[in-house]
Amino acid sequence: MTSSGYQVVVLPDPSWRERSIAIDAICAAGLRVLNVDTAMESKMICAGLMGAQLAPPVVVVARGDACLMLPAVALSLRTQHKDTSGYVLIDPDAPPASDTWPESPVLVLSSTEATGTSLRGWPVLRSEANATEQLVGLIGQLRIG
CA angle 110, 112, 116 (to 5 degrees): 60
| Model confidence pTM above 0.85 | yes
CATH superfamily of the 7-144 domain:
Response regulator (3.40.50.2300)
pLDDT at 25: 94
Residues 6+ apart with CB under 8 A from 50: 76, 80
Per-position pLDDT tens, the chain of length 145: 344 457 999 999 999 999 999 999 999 999 999 999 999 999 999 999 998 888 888 999 999 999 999 999 999 999 999 989 999 999 987 667 888 889 999 999 988 765 544 567 788 888 876 788 888 888 888 866 5
